[in-house]
């Protein structure tokens, strides 16, 4: 696969500064780090701060300090989505010039009402294509720009899940690339960001699996290389639900992790299918990560997620 990195592996971790790091996002960080480093590659850090309204002041720095406490040291400078708007505009205009985009005047409520079945994610409610033929500029407000999707399956090989197929026309329909206020959508931003950084290995949580076919479709339209993908099992709470931004917080600023990093790191390695030896107990995060790099393998990843447990779990239950 040709890519801007010249063939070497480039992975990344891309947290959003909408809350503190938690055990679920730590699993994604560790998994992406181990997979990139196992191949002798680079591991980049990008702050996905495009949605200014949802950001928590100071949280980006808090996430970075927390990663450092776990020994997760990134290569190169930190990238910020908010600094790439000109690049997003460039690729948006390429799609516009190719006739792949159209304006849409439908509100989210209207789209939800027209959906034939309920969907868990708002952005995954399949759009009917109501505005494909154009909107009445005199009466309708432009609420978004959408990309036309084909009536065909998008397939890719996930390093954990195997072959994944999705028909965009039934799962998402023509999806949004830019909002009416001018802000670019996540799907376009992440595709452009990964290309600009030469990322060719994307390791992230399984909650983002459903959006991957949309990103692959955009890569195809823009003639950009496709990274390798691996979607990790999700960390859940005791009730089996996915962790929220308020669960199991790992905040440097709030002091919820100081001194506990090695124990949690060992628990994360176990969650990722490894079997760290007892001799690693009491070791530094650096030593534990080095062991993880040398023993990590995608086939070891569990089929299902679950909760993270250690010999002493009281501190894992902490939330702020």
pLDDT at 311: 33
In a domain, 106, yes or no: yes
C-alpha span between 310 and 300 (Å, rounded): 19
Are residues 202 and 65 part of one domain?
yes
Neighbours of 32 (CB within 10 A): 23
Closest CA to 273 of 304, 244, 247: 304
Band of residue 312 on the pLDDT scale cut at 50, 70, 90:
very low
Q: What is the domain range of residue 118?
A: 98-187
Where do the DSSP E strands lie in 99-227?
A: 101-104, 144-147, 153-158, 162-167, 176-179, 201-205
User: Residue 75 maps to which CATH number?
Assistant: 3.40.50.620
| pLDDT tens digits, 244-290 | 555 566 765 655 666 788 999 999 999 999 999 999 999 999 999 99
Are residues 210 and 303 part of one domain?
yes
Helices (H) and strands (E) in the chain, counts: 9, 10
Are residues 256 and 155 part of one domain?
no
In a domain, 2, yes or no: no
Query: Has residue 115 got a pLDDT over 70?
Result: no
Are residues 312 and 210 part of one domain?
yes
The three-state DSSP-derived secondary structure of 251-264 is CCCCCCCCCCHHHH
In a domain, 164, yes or no: yes
Task: Evaluate whether 133 touches 175 at the Cβ level (below 8 Å).
Answer: no
Are residues 312 and 207 part of one domain?
yes
User: Domains in the chain: how many in total?
Assistant: 2
Are residues 272 and 159 part of one domain?
no
C-alpha span between 283 and 165 (Å, rounded): 42
| pLDDT tens digits, 17-43 | 988 888 889 999 999 999 999 999 999
* Number of residues assigned to the chain: 320
C-alpha span between 190 and 88 (Å, rounded): 10
In a domain, 54, yes or no: yes
In a domain, 203, yes or no: yes
Provide the pairing of β-strand 162-167 with 153-158.
antiparallel
Are residues 275 and 197 part of one domain?
yes
In a domain, 224, yes or no: no
Query: Has residue 148 got a pLDDT over 90?
Result: yes
In a domain, 167, yes or no: yes
Q: Mean pLDDT of all residues in the chain?
A: 86
């Amino acid at each position: 696969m040709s890519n801007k990195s010249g063939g070497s592996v480039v992975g990344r971790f891309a947290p959003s500064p909408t809350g503190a790091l938690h055990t679920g996002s730590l699993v994604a960080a560790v998994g992406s780090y181990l997979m990139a480093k196992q191949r002798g590659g680079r591991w980049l850090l990008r702050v996905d701060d495009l949605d200014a309204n949802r950001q928590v002041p100071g949280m980006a720095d808090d996430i970075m300090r927390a990663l450092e406490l776990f020994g997760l040291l990134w290569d190169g400078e930190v990238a910020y989505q908010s600094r790439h708007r000109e690049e997003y505009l460039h690729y948006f205009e390429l799609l516009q010039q190719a006739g792949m985009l159209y304006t849409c005047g439908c509100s989210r409520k209207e789209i939800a009402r027209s959906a034939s079945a309920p969907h868990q994610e708002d952005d995954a409610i399949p759009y009917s294509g109501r505005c494909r033929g154009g909107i009445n500029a005199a009466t309708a407000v432009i609420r978004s720009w959408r990309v036309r999707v084909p009536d065909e399956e998008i397939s890719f090989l996930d390093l954990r899940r195997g072959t994944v197929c999705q028909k965009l026309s039934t799962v998402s329909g023509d999806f949004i690339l830019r909002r009416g206020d001018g802000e670019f959508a996540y799907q376009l931003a992440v595709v452009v960001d990964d290309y600009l950084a030469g990322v060719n290995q994307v390791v992230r949580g399984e909650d983002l699996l459903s959006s991957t076919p949309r990103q692959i479709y955009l890569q195809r339209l823009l003639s950009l290389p496709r990274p390798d993908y691996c979607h990790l099992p999700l960390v859940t709470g005791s009730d089996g639900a996915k962790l929220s931004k308020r669960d199991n917080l790992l905040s440097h600023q709030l002091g919820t992790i100081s001194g506990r990093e090695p124990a949690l790191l060992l628990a994360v390695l176990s969650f990722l299918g490894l079997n760290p030896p007892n001799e690693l107990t009491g070791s530094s995060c650096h030593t534990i990560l080095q062991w993880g790099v040398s023993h990590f393998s995608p086939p070891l990843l569990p089929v299902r997620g679950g909760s993270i447990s250690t010999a002493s779990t009281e501190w894992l239950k902490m939330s702020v």
